[in-house]
Amino acid sequence: MDILLLLLGLLFVILGIIGSFLPVLPGPLTGWVGLLILHFSDAVPMDTTFLGITLAVAIAIWILDYIIPVLGTKKFGGSRAGMIGTFLGLIIGLIAPIPFGIIIGPFVGALIGELIHQSDTDKAIKAAFGSFIGFITGTFLKFIVAVIYFGLFVKIAFWDFGSAFI
């Protein structure tokens, strides 16, 4: 049973890395589920402090992933209308059946929001670019956390308690 839990946990941690780039999977949260599954095995003792801290980080990154594009819009001179457009574009990009909707949505949303607020196209494009930079930053953060969770999984499963699985 421990081997099954090890393999299932490993699958979730790998899916967490993939989920950093795919909007369908919440990357760090999926990776955290892999850590949780590993701790259900008899070979690895349950460490609630470790699991609590890693869950808090995963939830924080998940929330920041929705906030950072909005902050990027604001940083690059976007107005409230641009920030609202970024958020709405992100939501529409998530549910729209278009390729790269999660990338295109915030950019187009910020652009439309800024164009509605004012007719300065250059400022609108700059704010939309800020939204795109925010999205890239959020994706990078998710990837880093997912890779760290993978490293923690490997360390716990194979170096700390590897002999228990063999």
CB burial string 48-79: b at 16+ within 10 A, e below: eeeeeebbeebeebbeebeebbbbbbbebbbb
Please, which pLDDT band fits residue 74 given cuts at 50, 70 and 90?
A: confident
For 83-121, write each residue's pLDDT tens digit.
788 778 878 887 877 777 777 887 888 889 888 887 778
Residue 151 reports pLDDT greater than 90:
yes
pLDDT given at position 15: 95
Cα–Cα distances in angstroms (integers) from residue 161 to residues 22, 35, 42, 57, 105, in the given order: 32, 14, 10, 24, 44
Please, which pLDDT band fits residue 76 given cuts at 50, 70 and 90?
A: confident
Please, which pLDDT band fits residue 146 given cuts at 50, 70 and 90?
A: very high
| Rounded Cα gap, residues 146 and 72, in angstroms | 22
pLDDT given at position 165: 59
For 13-71, write each residue's pLDDT tens digit.
999 999 887 767 889 999 999 999 999 988 888 889 999 999 999 999 999 888 887 78
Please, which pLDDT band fits residue 163 given cuts at 50, 70 and 90?
A: low
CB burial string 113-132: b at 16+ within 10 A, e below: bbbebeeeeebbbbbbbbbb
Measured from the Cβ of residue 47, the count of other Cβ atoms closer than 10 Å reads 13
CA nearest to 66, candidates 94, 44, 87:
87
| Rounded Cα gap, residues 103 and 161, in angstroms | 40
User: How much is the pTM?
Assistant: 0.78
pLDDT given at position 33: 96
pLDDT given at position 36: 95
Q: Are 105 and 135 in contact (CB under 8 A)?
A: no
